[in-house]
Structure 1
Amino acid sequence: MSDLVADYAALEQILDKIAASDSTACDEETVTELAIRHEHTIRRVESIGNQRILEVSDRDAHRTAGCVTVTEFLQTKLRITHPKKRLDAVRSLEPMHAMTGEKLPPVCSNTARELAAGTIGPDHVHAVLDVMKKIPSAVGAEQRAFAEQTLAEFATTLTPKEITAAGVRILAHLDPDGQLTDDRDRARNRKLNLGCQDSQLMSKLTATLDPITRALFDVVLAKWAAPGMNNPDDELSPIGDGSDIDSNLLREAADRDHRSQSQRNHDALKALLDVAVNGGLLGGSHRGLPPQIIVSITDAQLREHAGVARTATGADLPISDVITLAADAQPHLAVFSDVTGEPLFFGRGRRLASQAQRLMAFAQYRGCSKDDCATPFAHTEMHHADWADGGLTDATDMAPACGRHNRAVGPEPHQWSTEKITDGPDKGRYGWRRNTDPPEKLRANHLHRIDELLHPHSPDTDEAPSPPVLDIEHQLVAERLPRAPRVDVVWSRHPIDYAA
């Protein structure tokens, strides 16, 4: 055992001792001092943690923990909420290696020093880095270094919000006329982020648009977000751009329109996306599925008008929205039923899964089958469990996997193996395990099926939980089943060509 391993063991013992200690006998001044020292210590540990992460990255050591990428290691093993932000901090605060092998000083050496001393925290670091990213590329290295030094000094006394405000002044000083900002800076800072759904299933959209994108968006909003246009609360509201609508009808619709400008902007974007998705603008296929809203929902949810449905792209839809979509759709495939006539078995006659097989896999898995992977189904590939060993392109021999995990399957010790689970609540699905000796237990992915896991804990029912998805092959070929199979209905707003 190395000295470093022994030191971490000793640190854990000290933490256990501190956690069990009682500060009741300490006076107020001592208690205050302990709280300050505690926060300084946490910040110093954060700095040391950055060094550990850099070592894992440099050595590709994340593979020994069963992770394909460093980001996956941070997210699943270290349980870091924002792994990309943490990696940005590591790259900026730690000495990196040049292509020739020598060590380079940290990009933000002053900020790194203050974090290591415990005088600033991670939020201060991210605020400094956000300002540094906005400095124009044309600014010289000396001025850039001075800006970083100044921000690091500010961070020891200012809050992260105040650092951002100070950064505005610094940026104005470095480029007072805005003449240094060029296309490189605009390209570097452009972004559009779609946030996670909240408890109301609403999502926040944030963006930094380049000038041309802004100008295009202005043109769209001028027509599609005009008063009276694309109003979901008005059945007589003109849909689209209104170019063929009688001016009197548009004026009457505008008089009935009580939405705010922000709400009209939202409804215009929704109408534009609807035209793109359902008007054929996205082509005929994306990873073997039609590029449309595809929803997997059980017949019980439809019958009871209760629950939340999952789309192929990973979004949750309330049952009311599903009913609205179903009014314009047709159920294309009932999966996990022994009455379907879809061609689900192709043997080795074809390498790629059919559209019907992909729809079945979506209803069964809803996303990547690798445990702890949050990739939704629309961004996965169909993984053949044993194609290299003579496997078949059959629904029972495939499972969805995102690109990085699909490529992680192989015979090497750092790679993964997949195998069908034959019993328990995950029977019929494929599980994953690392190539270790002795072999690990097969693990299925439950992230995309939280509703099934929560069902046994529901206070509203005394019945036994619905059976998990059964082995597809058994459901398709068995002469009869001990109980009625679960039926998942896959909906899409346009007919699906199963021959594709």
Structure 2
Amino acid sequence: MTRIAPEIADTIHGLRRLVGDLESFNRPMGPDDAVTVVDGLETVNRLVESLSVVTLSVFERVGTPRDYGAKSTKALIQNRLNLSEREAGRRSHLAEKLGNQVSFSGESLGPKFPAVSEALQNGYLSSTQASAIIGCLKDLPTHVGPDERREAERILVEKAPTVRVKDIQALFNEILAWLDPDGELPDEAPDRDEFSVSLRQRKDGSWTLKGVLDAVTGGIMSGHLTSRIKADLSEPGDEDVAHDMVDGNGADDAIDGDRAGDEEVVEVFSEVLRGDRWDAVDPSLNFNADLEIDAALGGSQDERTVDDGGVDRGCGVREDGSIVPMAGRQPSVKTKIYERFATMIGRIEMNRVMAGSPFALVVTAKAEDVAKQSGRAFTDAEAPFPMETAAREGLNGSVFFNLMGDKAKSMQLATERRFATPKQLAILSSRDQGCTFPGCDTPPGWCDAHHIVPWADEGETDINNLTLACGSHHHLIDKSDWHTVMLKDGRPAWVPPASIDPARRPILHARFIAKEIADTLFD
């Protein structure tokens, strides 16, 4: 490195010294100095990204990935630098679009997006902004001429530093309107043959789902998995007023706060769904409340009660009014998205079965194997099905069993009676208003009807034996010592494992406290 690029070697040594001096407090630095250094580091990062683009484009012109045991430049840097596939693809894509190229005859060609390339090299744009602009420009209609393309690129480069990255698309939409003021851009919708869905089972019984969806289908799916954050209310603001009665805040403030909070929640869900973030915690949960309760009066969770000033989101309440922090026990955003997807698929099939559809997920297994949760099971598609999962999901009423006896005679085991009826679900939705696990805000539409006394233990599909639970918390019962009970006053509660509370005192969702206050407000 010292011979090929001494500038890089000197910079590396200098930055290492700086890190060491700051870590050992040998170099004093105030807050203003720290902010100045952060600004400088951003400049360095942009220069490094620009240098990466130039270097990789040089390699593309003079090198061959196969000489280094790789199929492509992307695979080379992914393996050599231990990058994720996404990050390696991002870097190689930038080099392809913003680096200099050569024609088949050996003639030197400029980058495909010269204005973006120049702005990245001089530090005017970050690599994220550059990628966003490239993504927009590739969607320009084919009839747009080269002069108009250059002007669109110039506008986006000029305005990008003044807006958020996600707003670059909004600017591009305005450019599209400017290119076609009459709003009659030719329809260049992809051919339906370009869309596909593939589903393949893995050896452990799980499935890999891949595909490309059309704009309408993808939009509907995205909306289902990200936008339905709160339950649909019959009267706008009802939930805000009820929440206000517990929190002690003004109703208007609660509504405005929820709107702002919903926007942030939807944005985080969208980022995780797109893959821009691997995972995140639900931003609507108040994790600070957990710390405050734990630290109150020597760390006892029971020191703070509803009467002391309200219940924060993500907290549960015991029968005596003591508040229990539960934000840390809620599923992550990635898990919530998957559970919504699984619930959506399960709900479709449940509706088909209840309507008398000839198709259902049927698992064939020996009766004794199901009882012992051993042996092997197979679905009607002849795919292996984990026996433990077969037994658990069957007891939840989501599959049918074709049980085989010793003499290989079939015995049909139907499960419709385990499903809550539409009328029961309507009553449950009105009573529970969503998942009843303490602190969970999953609305009724994404919840299952859970048997408090399991069906396998002769529990009835009756309102007094049912409660709403989201997919994540429904499965929590199967893999932990959490379980549900129905209190004498008809409120469903969750009982924690002894490792969390040795006394195993039931915990209620805070919304039941709000409802109790509302019901007795004018008594």
Bigger relative contact order (CA 8 A; separation at least 6): 1
Same fold per superposition (TM over 0.5): no
Query: For this structure pair, what is the TM-score category when the shorter chain's length is used for normalisation?
Result: 0.3 to 0.5
